[in-house]
Amino acid sequence: MKVSVLQRSAISRYEGAFSSLSAFLLSAAPAISDSEEASFRGEGELSEHEGELTLSYREEESGVRAALSLAGDTLTLTRGGAELCFVRGKRTAFTYVTTYGRLPTEAYTERVDCIKKGSAYLITLVYTAVFSGIAQKNELRFKITVK
């Protein structure tokens, strides 16, 4: 089915350098050094099959194609050639592809959930990631509205 997508993100970066996700998680309450928020709108297709929700869309501002798959506690996000896999309550590793190159990344996923309200789906992903010595907390929220 055709849908509109609103993705909101909030990123908090922590002070200090961290060699791994374990080093960050074991550190004593690191301070936040900076934060940013962003919103992206898009149009796409949504399907639901045997408990799996699949979304593919194009971001209006950038033209970048993205896809999201949610099955139980696992959310897979593909954007700009990178596939990021998140499992609630677990650590995962993946390579994040940026315009600056490929970054090996470790993540701990705190929250993955989906709420359906009428003809809208609200998907929330909260995770902490460490890459190139930088630690940050990411909160992504997707509002998917059936047209």
Q: How far apart are CA 48 and CA 7, in angstroms?
A: 19
Global confidence as pTM = 0.91
pLDDT (0 to 100) of residue 60: 92
Q: Give the pLDDT of the chain (147 residues) as one tens digit per residue.
A: 999 999 999 999 999 999 999 999 888 888 999 999 999 999 999 999 998 999 999 999 888 899 999 999 999 999 877 889 999 999 999 888 777 788 899 999 999 999 999 999 999 999 999 998 999 999 999 999 998
With residue 21 as reference, give the H or E element that holds it: helix 21-26
User: 45 near 29, Cβ under 8 Å?
Assistant: no
* Helix, strand or coil, per DSSP, at residue 23: helix
* Helix, strand or coil, per DSSP, at residue 60: coil
pLDDT (0 to 100) of residue 32: 94
CATH number at residue 94: 2.40.128.20
Domain containing residue 38: 2-146
Indicate the number of domains in the chain: 1
Alpha-carbon distances, residue 71 vs 60, 99, 103, 112, 131 (angstroms): 26, 29, 26, 10, 26
